Each structure stands twice: as structure tokens, then as C-alpha cells.
């Protein structure tokens, strides 16, 4: 057994606290090693977000501190909203690792300094609340809190706290933004991806992709199935998943896989079923065509798996949320503005 596997087995045999401690060390290391990463460049905006300890030492109003703490709590334990706004096993921090602070793990402070802005996915200008709402509708397979609600205000405040000191609308690229995908040497392979997943990922996420639980509580997320994000989530795109895997997985060993392994594993994971895209029209081919140019051209939705002939997304399974429709999906905006 490899040293990595020994470490994970030990972690899994103990409480979830051990996982949290390991992740905290990973976060600290990620920032300590910034200047050593191959793609670090002087002509980028490098920002190290403040911590919750920094919040306690700040001069912010005590009531604002309470709200930011609540936003942090929601971000790291979004499962407390299960059954109301969240209908799968995910937390915000499942994708945005290290409390949303880690570079190359889509650090959320970047949204706070670049929004409002146009978003190709829904073809209109989005503000921070609308961007967060999209995560609830797709990544949480749920329905978002109302704009201006306590939950939405708290999450927005936490995003903005992490952006403390960073300039709005920066005039240079943001270091560590998103999940940059590695180069793709060869066309991804399902068979290679399955083998690499079983070797590197299954010990935490299980062979069947169901995720890992301790005492009935989720520790490592489900990469597919009803406990995972739905077909409309950004990480359902193969390129995005490949970037997340390459930059962050296995946990604590970023960039330890080759670029080809990351693409192969992403292709394998995103060739599995998950809850239906909430934009589903009732026909998978029609949905794939309608949202292809803005999204699904980069996912496997509506495509046929070669090894068994299954058409991905050809079902009416919306997961735990059933027939609940997220109110923000398809909401028109700025219809009164004239075309230029």
C-alpha cells in the first residue's frame, strides 16, 4: 500500500476532525508555496484572503462579524440547509476547498471583485447573489434562498470578507482563479479513467461514487449519483472537472496526477449519471441542443456511452428535490433594455 493510501486509511478510520485538520494544513501549504508554482507570474493579482481569526481581530462592527461568521458556517456546512435549499450531499466547500480560500480551487473572493458581470451560462449580467443562487440550483441540486434573505446576505458578506484588500475589477489576471485544466495530450479514455479513479479516488469517494460517510455524516462528496451535483453544474463539464482534479486531487497532493490522468478521470466521472439539469425541457436531445452553445457542448449530457449505449441525462430523475423547480433558473433580466 502506498504512503498516500496509508494516510487516507488512517484518516478514514478516525473522526471527521482528522480530515478537517489535514485540509487546514493543505490550505496553509497552498499559500506558503504560491511563489513556487510553475504558473505563478508577476503580472497577476495575487491575493491571500483573510482568515476567520483575522475577522476577530478586525475593527468591523460586531453585528457584521456575526453575519460573516454565519456566512462562513453556511459555506462550510451547507448541509444545515438540507431539505429547504439543499437536496444533495454537497457543501459549498466541497468544490471551493479550504473555506473558499485556496488558489486553483475556484476561490470565491474572486467573484466578489469581478461581479456584476456578464455570464455566458444564463446570457445576462449577474451580481454576487445571483451567482451564489446558481450554485444552489445546480451544484446543490436545490433551490436558492431569496435575494436579500439572511442566508444570502450572510454568504455574500463572507465572500466579500475574503476579498478584503483586493481591488474591484482588477486590470490583471487573478492568480489561482477557477479550476484551470491541464493540457490534454490524448483524447480522454473511459477505460483509463475508470482504472485511474479506482486507484486514486475510490478510497475516499467509493468505487460506486457514493462518497464517504462517518456516523451518518458526509465527509468526502459523491462525484456522481443522487448525492452529487446535477447535470447543470459547472463541474459536470469535463474540462472543469479535469481542472479541479489536476489542481486539487488527491486531497493534499495537488498536481500529483498527470494531465492525462486528470482528463481520463474527469471523463469517467462525468460519464456517470446524476440528477437531471433543472433546465430540462422533457427531452434530453432538445435540452442539449438548446443549452449546448452556452454550456452542454463541454459536457457529456445527451451523449451515448460507447461501452453500453446509455444516453447520459435521458431520464426524469431530479434526485431528492423531486419536482421542486429552482425559482432562479430561466429568470429573464433586463428585458426593458434596448438592443445596441
Burial state string for 170-208 with b = 16 or more CB within 10 A and e = fewer than 16: eeeebbbbbbebbebeeebeeebbbebbeebbebbbbee
Grid coordinates representing 165? 484588500
The yes-or-no verdict on residue 4 having pLDDT over 80 is no
Q: In this model, does residue 279 exceed pLDDT 60?
A: yes
pLDDT of residue 28: 54
Helix (H, G, I), strand (E, B) or coil at 9: helix
> What cell does 118 get?
456578464
In this structure, what C-alpha cell is assigned to residue 33? 508555496
User: In this predicted structure, which of 39-48, 90-99, 214-223 has the lowest mean pLDDT?
Assistant: 39-48
Read off the pLDDT of residues 139-197 as tens digits, 9 standing for 90 and up: 999 999 999 999 999 999 999 999 999 999 999 999 999 999 999 999 999 999 999 99
What percent of the chain lies above the pLDDT cut of 90? 83
Q: What is the pLDDT of residue 30?
A: 59
For the chain, how big is the Rg over CA atoms in Å? 20
Asked if 205 and 269 touch (Cβ cutoff 8 Å), the reply is: no
168, 111 in Cβ contact below 8 A? Answer: no
What is the third-level CATH fold of 190-321?
A: Cytochrome Bc1 Complex; Chain D, domain 2 (1.10.760)
Query: What is the per-residue pLDDT for 217?
Result: 81
User: Per-residue pLDDT averaged across 101-123, rounded?
Assistant: 97
* Set of cell numbers at residue 334: 433586463
Residue-range domain boundaries for the chain: 190-321
Quote the CA–CA distance of 147 and 178 in Å, as a whole number. 24
Indicate the average pLDDT of the chain: 91
CB 151 within 8 A of CB 85: yes
Burial class of residue 139, CB neighbours in 10 A (0-12, 13-18, 19+): buried
Bridge partners of 259, per DSSP, are: none
pLDDT beyond 70 at 128: yes
Amino acid at each position: 500500500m502506498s504512503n498516500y493510501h496509508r494516510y487516507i486509511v488512517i484518516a478514514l478510520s478516525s473522526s471527521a476532525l482528522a480530515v478537517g485538520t489535514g485540509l487546514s494544513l493543505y490550505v496553509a501549504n497552498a499559500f506558503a508555496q504560491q511563489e513556487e508554482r510553475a504558473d505563478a507570474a508577476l503580472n497577476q493579482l495575487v491575493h491571500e484572503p483573510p482568515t476567520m481569526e483575522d475577522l476577530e481581530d478586525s475593527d468591523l462592527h460586531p453585528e457584521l462579524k456575526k453575519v460573516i461568521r454565519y456566512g462562513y458556517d453556511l459555506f462550510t456546512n451547507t448541509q444545515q440547509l438540507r431539505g429547504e435549499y439543499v437536496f444533495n450531499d454537497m457543501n459549498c466547500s466541497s468544490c471551493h476547498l479550504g473555506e473558499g480560500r485556496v488558489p486553483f480551487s475556484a476561490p470565491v473572493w474572486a467573484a466578489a471583485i469581478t461581479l456584476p458581470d456578464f455570464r455566458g451560462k444564463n446570457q445576462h449580467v449577474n451580481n454576487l447573489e445571483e451567482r451564489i443562487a446558481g450554485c444552489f440550483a445546480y451544484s446543490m441540486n436545490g433551490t436558492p434562498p431569496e435575494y436579500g434573505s439572511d442566508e444570502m446576505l450572510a454568504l455574500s458578506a463572507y465572500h466579500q470578507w475574503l476579498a478584503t484588500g483586493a481591488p474591484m475589477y482588477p486590470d490583471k489576471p487573478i492568480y489561482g482563479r477557477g479550476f484551470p485544466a491541464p493540457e490534454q495530450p490524448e483524447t480522454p479514455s473511459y477505460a483509463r479513467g475508470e482504472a485511474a479513479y479506482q486507484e486514486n479516488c475510490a478510497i475516499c469517494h467509493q468505487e460506486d461514487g457514493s462518497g464517504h460517510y462517518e456516523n451518518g455524516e458526509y465527509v468526502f462528496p459523491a462525484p456522481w449519483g443522487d448525492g452529487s451535483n446535477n447535470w447543470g453544474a459547472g463541474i459536470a463539464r469535463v474540462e472543469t472537472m479535469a481542472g479541479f482534479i489536476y489542481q486539487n486531487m488527491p486531497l493534499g497532493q495537488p498536481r500529483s496526477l498527470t494531465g492525462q490522468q486528470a482528463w481520463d478521470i474527469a471523463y469517467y466521472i462525468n460519464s456517470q449519471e446524476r440528477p437531471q439539469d433543472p433546465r430540462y425541457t422533457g427531452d434530453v436531445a432538445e435540452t442539449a441542443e438548446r443549452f449546448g452553445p452556452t454550456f452542454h457542448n463541454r459536457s457529456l449530457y445527451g451523449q451515448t456511452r460507447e461501452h453500453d449505449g446509455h444516453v447520459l441525462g435521458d431520464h426524469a430523475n431530479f434526485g431528492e428535490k423531486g419536482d421542486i423547480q429552482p425559482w432562479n433558473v430561466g429568470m429573464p433580466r433586463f428585458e426593458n433594455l434596448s438592443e445596441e
